[in-house]
Amino acid sequence: MKSGPITVACIQMAPRFGDTDANVARSLDLIGQAADDGASLVVLPELTNTGYVFETREEALALAETVPDGPTCRAWAKIAAERSLHIVAGMTEREGSSLYNSAVVIGPEGYIGTYRKMHLWDYENLYFEPGNKGLPVFETALGAIGVAICYDGWFPETYRLLALQGADIVCVPTNWVPIPGQVAGREAMANILAMAAAHTNSLFIACADRVGTERGQAFLGQSLIVSHTGWPAAGPASRTDEDIVSAEIDLGAARRARRWNSFNEVLRDRRTDVYGEMLGSDLPRRAY
């Protein structure tokens, strides 16, 4: 793990549905801007390369790519190598006849791994298979990176299981949509959930949302980076415009800060005698 602080950037962009070449090209431009500003870890939105609102499974299948040898992964790997970056980015993945809402993790040395969205939202259930890779934590030169995608963040188990496996930061490619009952002008519910999860697990969380309206569906923007304290380190970003939010963070601080006082350490204080079997007590755990 790299000692000292790193700069994390969340890229908020507006993909155009079905225009994969233009979407990837735009993502490369914005990744370059983030790198110019010192970022070493860059997070992109959910389904960055294709857009989100599919109308048929056949449409999704036609736009999907294989990982890691498809053109989107190759383009991201090339810029990661050129700019010494780690990138976490959402894309539409095809494996045989199966489709996944996925996020790839790429480093300066190339492809590291894939996370497949476990909790599918609404019509995603018609196009994608539920993720079958569990909740992996990727050991990188920067630190231990966990990944979640959009609706995964509504499940406390997502962040807790990643924390128990030693994640220092969870990167969240997302496409947040309006939540019924939200008062005008209030922050996105997703922002509140990310702040709560960061605090209760002593994790950094970096959420890269999209903006714009696609086939009638509006998206919320408000990308943000949350400190392990639960308070934003950067953002929320614009609700309507493309944006880059970045923060200098010390991933090691999350581990050191898990001891809150003389008596309490949030992960250690779990009552595993009561609920250990429910929440992953059999997972490999790092010493804190």
Catalytic residue among 117, 124, 171, 207: 117
Q: Please pick, among 10, 73, 150, 207, the residue that the annotation labels catalytic.
A: 150
End-to-end CA distance of the chain: 15
Q: Give catalytic status of residue 95 as yes or no.
A: no
265 annotated active-site: no
In this predicted structure, the answer to whether residue 62 has a pLDDT above a threshold of 90 is yes
Give the residue, 106 or 184, on which the prediction is more confident.
106
pTM: 0.94
**What does R_g of the chain's alpha carbons equal in angstroms?**
18
Domain boundaries along the sequence of the chain: 6-275
Query: Would you say residue 185 has pLDDT above 50?
Result: yes
Quick one: pLDDT band at residue 272, thresholds 50, 70, 90? confident
| pLDDT digits 0-9 by tens, 14-25 | 999 999 999 999
Q: Can you tell me whether residue 60 is helix, strand or coil?
A: helix
CB 96 within 8 A of CB 58: no
Look at residue 69 in the predicted model and tell me its pLDDT.
97
Which one from 46, 65, 93, 124 is the annotated catalytic residue? 46
Task: Give me the mean pLDDT over the 137-164 stretch.
Answer: 96
CA distance 203 to 151: 18
250 pLDDT more than 50? yes
Fill in the amino acid letter for 234.
A
Give per-residue pLDDT as tens, 86-140.
999 999 999 999 999 999 999 999 999 999 999 999 999 999 999 999 999 999 9
150 is catalytic: yes
Q: Which two tokens stand for residue 53?
A: 């609102």
pLDDT at residue 255, rounded to an integer: 78
Please report which confidence band the pLDDT of residue 270 belongs to, taking 50, 70 and 90 as the band edges.
confident
pLDDT at 122: 96
Rounded CA-CA distance 89/46 in Å is 7
Averaged confidence pLDDT in the chain = 93
Q: What is the CATH number of domain 6-275?
A: 3.60.110.10
In whole angstroms, how far apart are CA 182 and each of 36, 54, 225?
37, 26, 22
pLDDT surpassing 70 at residue 41: yes
CA distance 148 to 201: 14
pLDDT at 268: 86
